[in-house]
Structure 1
Amino acid sequence: MSEQIALVFEEREYGAAELADLAGGLAAELARRGVRAGERVALMSSNRPEFVVAVQAIWRLGAAVVLFSPAWKRAEVEHALAVTEPAHAVGDHPVLGELMPMLHLDEPVTPEQGAPPGPGPEPDPGADAVLVFSSGTTGLPKAVRHTHASFRAAVRHWRDALHLTGADRIQITTPPAHILGLLNIVTALETGTWLRLHRRFDLAAMLRHIETDRITVEMAVAPIALALASHPELESYDLSSLRYIMWGATPVTASVAETVTRRTGVGWVPAYGASELPVITCNPIDGARLDSAGRAVPGVTLRVVSLETGEPVGPGETGEIQARSDSLMAGYLPAEATADAVVDGWYRTGDVGHIDAGGWVRLTDRSKEMIKVRGFQVAPAEVEAVLHGHPAVADCAVFGVPDPADGEAIVAAVAPHGQADPDELVALVGDRLASYKRPSRVVLVPEIPRLPSGKVLRRVLKERHGRASDS
């Protein structure tokens, strides 16, 4: 085949022109079903090439894609539909199909032969391109709105930060409905980088394909890094094609990263971003440091403000990290949530840390109460709302504790009415919410410590019950 391969899934190869043909065919079908420019289209899909085609097709029509996690349960999907009000749906998940008419990705698509390769017609830069969900401290997820202009800026920042070119080869095992997965996919396709998409994460398959596909850039989150470090046969794989492994979503665990490097000779490049501003900092490709999230990428401006006064502080002083960039989201849905997150054009990350005179960022804490599990944001209040629905729960509070595998683990403190079964409560959350929101354990306590205002003293709970799991 003379055409350059753009995407590989299992044994199937797709060229850029074929992807364009498929996107054109799906766009024509969506148009027949009434999708118009400016509308929102829900997409709830497993990891598969049709996800990529669907995103491209929706953008060709000038519509916005709303990404629903395939891990969500019915209540989470219902909330997301209520917040974003998509007019149409595409996917392969039965929950979405039960709640609104859905074009199933298994339905055959007639390619639009001769469609131009690439992203298709130029959309309005100011129009919404993608909505992804990021939980808020109020407990229910918010939709993050990115325009074509802001997401294109993020793609440009990511490509430049990683020094990604058409000579690179990458693979994606993380969910494409997460901002990092989508960013990797779009950046690779627009850069001409060879891309393998995996159906799910499988460590052995990931290592095998680094070797056989000669992958040059590997993307990792904490659980992948830990799995690499503890793999008993890691040295048996030829990883010499890797330029580096990117660590994102959670702060680097230095001991884990150093173990992998010692065993493989491959170094790490830590990076830092958020759904609201996808690429904030990245380490240099040469000379990366494990104790820093890196420096601001070109196009992003950072500052640190005092937690007490909100005024900017000097180099080395601790406060909240704030960022400004063309890649900043257009806002949240519900819209009223935006005011607390963006002040005079500065995005409030909720992360506490400092920036030294050389521009190196070090993150030390979070001012928000979000729990970050495997790169996914979990709002304590969302889990608490489920627990409060159980008749044996008088009061409860959910908090995160450090976990080497997942970044953080979820612990629920429950003050019960009489007898309460911790395993039953864990199962309840698992039945109602995505699996990554399920507590690692439930601890029964006499009462939940609160301020007179009613605010939960989560720090007290962390001090008392701060281990990730029972010994």
Structure 2
Amino acid sequence: MLRRVPFAPLSLFRKALLPTATSLALFPQQRFSSSAKNPKIDILGPDDDVHKVSKSPEEWRVYQSLYPSVLPEVEQHNSLCEFMFGRWDREPNHTAMIQHETKRRLTFAETRKMTEAAASVLYYGHNIRKGDVVCIALLNNIFYAPFTYGIMRLGAVVTTANAITTPETLCFQLEASNTKTIVSSRIFQKTMEDAAVMIKKSTGKAISVLYIEDFDRIADQASALPSSYTAMEEAKPDDVVFLPFSSGTTGTPKATQLTNKSLTACIIQWSSPSNFHTSHTYLSILPFFHIYGFTVVMSVVLAGNATQIIMSRYMAEEYLDNVKEYKVTHSFVAPPVVISLVNKLEAPGNEYDFSSMKFIVCSAAPLSEDIGRRMAKVNPNLKLAQGWGMTEMSPTCSTCPDNQPTIDYRIPGCLIPDTEMRVVKVDDNQQSGADKSRGVDVENEGDEGELWVRGPQMMKGYLDKEQTDIAIQDGWYRTGDMGYIGKRKEFRVSGRLKELIKYKGFQVSPPEVEAELIKHPWVQDCIVIGVNDPRDVSFENPRALVVLKPDLPTKDAVRASDEIYRYMMRKMPPHKRLHGGVRIVESIMKNATGKLMRRQVRDAELEYMKGEGKE
């Protein structure tokens, strides 16, 4: 008999935060015309196609963005740092960043000056040169961007790490990336020094640490870079400048090589369909060490000359206070943030003023229709959108402009400029992205398959060539996401290839089962995993872990389990029913951006079942 037991939570932005592939979604109704730099966007009719489709010489069915190409602008820039400097110089006196905790402000001119100072401190004090790797291990703050672009100013490579981590986890990344120097805070001094000692013991290599608390004092004494040092001027589009570590939820994190071109392209691709300008104020809470926070939250906003309020940690009350104080108009968030905001804004007697917020992009995991409807009630003028991407695409594949009158956040929408997609057939022997694909498109539009993408924002590859050869096939990145094409040529993400549950020859997508499960009035949160059938280990049974709504008067967890089990028996076809059972838990493990940690949840549940004699 299943019983209610605690399930250890992973708190949002408070415990170890691992990089993940980013999952975003948005609306489809748009048409694009005019120049590549600033296309005009019209509304599509209800029956108009969302994407172009063509047959390639290889007979692939290729779905293409309707946006005009931005490649002419991308190809004008060899260096991401040079590109950002040019953008900042357009509005030197406008406020670029405000630190929530300290109220410190930087204009774009001051941001550039601090970037040059960061480059000088690293050049003279830590002997950083072209090709060296510097790890930034910080909470979000106004030093993050200057150090990021200061490192790139030297022709060096940035890797970012979660500062709230263990020395062992950090050591893995430092060694894998061949880091020479760490930029961190004295808050994390013990972790940084312990990791450096571990690296010294294992490799014999000494790693230096620069603490931001010392930066202002050191920068005042630093000389300018020598005129003979021209790494930025000599940069090439294919030079690697960023080494984020891709999803810890897919196995051992992999160092992903992003170049000047891939990152510059992604920033321009974002700013082409969307409007970023000085009248916008952004509230930045997603961690900058994560690819989505790094590129979109930090860099795209800076490139668009908008102001961003930076919070080191997310707290709903402080977030809403900032919205009111700074008249925040835009924000990039994850589903748990939207849920917490809705709960606060719906509370009787609350005095929060959320009326200035015009546009929120929610990423990292699907957002339920119920939450979307509730958010629309608390702020009818708010446009809520989602999108889709992953580290290997710098990270964006699809996103949305903020100037559309209609947004359907329920589907993962429009490809960004110069981005193409295929839907590739998944053979029976494929249970993960590591399994070889025949590279054949699905037979019919509407058939489910693995989504493959390509574009100028695609990674150069992983540091591990063997992993690169698995992930990139015929020039396409295999996302591992399952999806299909709808009637209007819109694409929809239906699950993950590696997450598929194989039940008696049927492939079951957990998100599809979860979408029905969450509709039950008692269910607050849920996850569906595959567990071995004790009678036949050749297939798995779908099993659900469920968090009940807090106001539910249920002392009898067994009754709740049985009720939910019977509900799913009525709602789902036989192969999608919860043959592995239902267990009531206190919380479900998620990463920093709110994404379900399916592999870790499954591993923990299998251990639990062994202890209960269930497996």
TM-score range, shorter chain: 0.7 to 0.9
Helix, strand or coil for the counterpart of 1:353? Answer: strand
Equivalents in 2 of 1:322, 1:404: separation in Å?
A: 37
Which residue of structure 2 lines up, in the alignment, with residue 323 of structure 1?
453
User: Are positions 1:312 and 2:441 aligned together?
Assistant: yes
Deviation of 1:284 (Å): 5.2
Contact kept? 1:295, 1:359, Cα under 8 Å? no
Which residue of structure 2 lines up, in the alignment, with residue 176 of structure 1?
288
> CA offsets per residue over residues 242-275 of structure 1, 9 Å max, x none?
2221111111211111111112212311111111
Of 50, 61, 79, the residue aligned with 2:172 is 79
Contact kept? 1:235, 1:264, Cα under 8 Å? no
Kindly, what percent of the aligned residue pairs are identical?
23
Of 55, 63, 66, the residue aligned with 2:148 is 55
Q: From the superposition, tell whether residues 311 and 38 of structure 1 become closer, same or farther in structure 2 (CA, over 3 Å).
A: same
Point out the more displaced range, 96-105 or 299-308: 96-105
User: Are positions 1:282 and 2:394 aligned together?
Assistant: no
User: Are positions 1:142 and 2:272 aligned together?
Assistant: no
Which residue of structure 2 lines up, in the alignment, with residue 393 of structure 1?
none
> CA offsets per residue over residues 378-409 of structure 1, 9 Å max, x none?
xx9xxxxxxxxxxxxxxxxxx9968899xxxx
The structure, 1 or 2, with the larger RCO (C-alpha pairs under 8 Å, 6+ apart) is 2
User: Are positions 1:70 and 2:163 aligned together?
Assistant: yes
Equivalents in 1 of 2:342, 2:208: separation in Å?
A: 45
Of 462, 465, 468, the residue aligned with 1:332 is 462
Q: Give structure 1 stretches of 5+ with no counterpart.
A: 373-379, 381-398, 406-422, 431-435, 450-460, 465-471
Q: From the superposition, tell whether residues 144 and 401 of structure 1 become closer, same or farther in structure 2 (CA, over 3 Å).
A: farther
Deviation of 1:66 (Å): 0.7
Equivalents in 1 of 2:451, 2:349: separation in Å?
A: 37
In the alignment of these two chains, the number of paired residues is: 399
> CA offsets per residue over residues 294-348 of structure 1, 9 Å max, x none?
1111221111111125311242221011110100011112232111111111111
Equivalents in 1 of 2:121, 2:323: separation in Å?
A: 37
Equivalents in 2 of 1:18, 1:267: separation in Å?
A: 32
Contact kept? 1:130, 1:147, Cα under 8 Å? yes
Which residue of structure 2 lines up, in the alignment, with residue 360 of structure 1?
490
Helix, strand or coil for the counterpart of 1:354? Answer: strand
Contact kept? 2:180, 2:208, Cα under 8 Å? no
Helix, strand or coil for the counterpart of 2:215? Answer: coil
Q: From the superposition, tell whether residues 3 and 229 of structure 1 become closer, same or farther in structure 2 (CA, over 3 Å).
A: same
Helix, strand or coil for the counterpart of 2:246? Answer: strand
Q: From the superposition, tell whether residues 234 and 288 of structure 1 become closer, same or farther in structure 2 (CA, over 3 Å).
A: farther
Q: Report the structure number with the largest CA radius of gyration.
A: 2
Once the two structures are superposed, the pairs formed by residues 399-438 of structure 1 within 5 Å of their partners are: none
Equivalents in 2 of 1:59, 1:9: separation in Å?
A: 23
Of 323, 332, 339, the residue aligned with 1:210 is 323
User: Are positions 1:20 and 2:132 aligned together?
Assistant: no
Equivalents in 2 of 1:30, 1:401: separation in Å?
A: 49
Q: Counterpart amino acid of 1:444?
A: Y
> CA offsets per residue over residues 213-235 of structure 1, 9 Å max, x none?
12221212011011122222597
Give the RMSD, CA atoms, in angstroms. 3.6
Which residue of structure 2 lines up, in the alignment, with residue 419 of structure 1?
none
Q: Counterpart amino acid of 2:276?
A: L
Using the size of structure 1 for normalisation, the TM-score is 0.76
Deviation of 1:59 (Å): 0.9
Which residue of structure 1 lines up, in the alignment, with residue 363 of structure 2?
248
Of 213, 220, 245, the residue aligned with 1:106 is 213
Once the two structures are superposed, the pairs formed by residues 113-192 of structure 1 within 5 Å of their partners are: 123-135=235-247, 139-183=251-295, 184-192=297-305
Deviation of 1:142 (Å): 0.7
Structure having the higher strand fraction is 1
Equivalents in 2 of 1:448, 1:87: separation in Å?
A: 48
Deviation of 1:6 (Å): 0.8
Equivalents in 1 of 2:151, 2:93: separation in Å?
A: 25
Equivalents in 1 of 2:546, 2:304: separation in Å?
A: 36
Which residue of structure 2 lines up, in the alignment, with residue 291 of structure 1?
410
Contact kept? 1:59, 1:123, Cα under 8 Å? no
Equivalents in 2 of 1:203, 1:68: separation in Å?
A: 24
Q: From the superposition, tell whether residues 359 and 296 of structure 1 become closer, same or farther in structure 2 (CA, over 3 Å).
A: farther
Equivalents in 2 of 1:225, 1:216: separation in Å?
A: 15
Point out the more displaced range, 328-337 or 156-165: 156-165
User: Are positions 1:3 and 2:93 aligned together?
Assistant: yes
Deviation of 1:4 (Å): 1.2
Of 342, 351, 374, the residue aligned with 1:259 is 374
Q: Give structure 2 stretches of 5+ with no counterpart.
A: 1-91, 197-206, 226-231, 428-437, 501-509, 512-528, 530-542, 550-584, 592-596
Using the size of structure 2 for normalisation, the TM-score is 0.59
Helix, strand or coil for the counterpart of 2:386? Answer: strand
Equivalents in 1 of 2:469, 2:164: separation in Å?
A: 29
Helix, strand or coil for the counterpart of 1:444? Answer: helix
Helix, strand or coil for the counterpart of 1:87? Answer: strand
Deviation of 1:71 (Å): 2.7
> CA offsets per residue over residues 425-455 of structure 1, 9 Å max, x none?
x99xx9xxxxx89869756224999xxxxxx
Helix, strand or coil for the counterpart of 1:81? Answer: helix
Deviation of 1:368 (Å): 2.1
Q: From the superposition, tell whether residues 403 and 305 of structure 1 become closer, same or farther in structure 2 (CA, over 3 Å).
A: farther
Helix, strand or coil for the counterpart of 1:445? Answer: helix
